[in-house]
Amino acid sequence: MSDSRLTIWDPLRKKEVALTPEERVRQWCIGVLAGQLQVPLHMMMSEAGFKLGDKQFRADIIVYDRKAQPLMVVECKRPEVEINGEVLDQAVRYNMVLNVKYIMITNGTRTFVCRRDGSGFSFMDKVPAYNEMICQQQ
């Protein structure tokens, strides 16, 4: 059976979704965010749609703060996709609408996280836990 016929439960969308290579990375990332980083499931949304100009976009995962404002955008790629400046640029473009403090990009093998410092972003050594992100938001 091919991957396109397999499904996986998405706890954020609350439904079965096709288990594509990118979806596998997205679900792994949701597990890390909810488990290790203690992001409450109800403070995340997957495949969140929004408009930038006339174009419609979908963020893989958005993490919200306690006031329901976007805090982090996560861009997930298939494992064979190289994480490079082009992927980061995509997430930064999303930030023009979302105005997040954190950007995370991952292919399940390599993960990078950046924090907004003034008008730019700087790379962090590790992904902060949810409470750390909330505290550093002020």
Q: What is the pLDDT of residues 91-135, one digit of tens each?
A: 888 888 899 999 999 999 999 999 998 878 899 999 999 999 998
- 3-137 placed in CATH 3.40.50.300: no
pLDDT tens column, 2-34 = 445 899 999 999 999 999 999 999 999 999 999
Whether the predicted pLDDT of 72 surpasses 60: yes
Which of 9, 22, 14 lies closest to 106, judged by CA?
A: 22
Q: Which residues of the chain form beta strands (DSSP E)?
A: 7-10, 15-18, 44-52, 55-64, 70-76, 102-106, 111-117, 120-123
| Residue 64: pLDDT over 60 | yes
pTM: 0.89
Please give the Cα distance from 96 to 13 (Å, whole number): 24
